[in-house]
Amino acid sequence: MTDDARTLPGEDLRRAMRRWVTGVSIVTCAHAGMHHGMTVNSFVSVSLEPPVVIVTLAKGTRTHALVEASRRYGVTVLSEAQQHLAEIFAGRIPDGGDRFHELETYTLASDVPLIRGGLAGLDCAVVHTYDLPHATLFFGRVEAVNLAEGGGPLIYFNRTFHTLPAPRR
């Protein structure tokens, strides 16, 4: 007897998580002259003292391989004007393509590129990993932060990008 994928607990969790509003970020990395990145919403702050954030990266991705090798990653929190970047870094261009083509970047504490125009940029050193069957949790000590002025966040809900309404004055 085979289980219908729609009845498995993991699929139930996937449907439940579509109801959770998250911010959208791009995790970037650099190693041995290569750089790459991917769109994630599995990014969370877990400690302020020391400052630690976690990103979850799927095994088998170039970003996972480069973070694992370099032991560093960057996180750019995307602004509402950067949906096109979220789509590009989610793989909307062919594999092997340069996701950074004609993109303005900057660095902070390391050579990990961060994306200009984001609401925040974090440069992190991996201090711990937690291995899962299909992904790895990378715990990163935040070594540098850049905060941008103004603008609203890009958010994700029910498999669609959204923006927040302007605050009432």
pLDDT tens-digit readout, 82-140: 999 999 999 876 655 788 888 999 999 999 999 999 999 999 999 999 999 999 999 99
Whole-number pLDDT of residue 41:
83
Which class in CATH covers the domain with range 21-155?
mainly beta
Whole-number pLDDT of residue 134:
93
Higher per-residue pLDDT: 19 or 154: 154
To the question of pTM greater than 0.85 for the whole model, the response is yes
User: Residue 74 — φ and ψ, nearest 5°?
Assistant: -120, 155
pLDDT tens-digit readout, 3-26: 555 566 777 877 877 777 788 999
User: Residue 51 — φ and ψ, nearest 5°?
Assistant: -75, 115
**Closest to 118 measured CA to CA, from 26, 21, 22:** 26
Whole-number pLDDT of residue 156:
85
Q: CA dist 88 to 13, 139, 168, Å?
A: 26, 25, 32
User: Residue 141 — φ and ψ, nearest 5°?
Assistant: -75, 125
**Structural tokens at position 90:** 């989610």
Q: For 23-44, what is the mean pLDDT?
A: 93
Q: For 46-69, what is the mean pLDDT?
A: 96
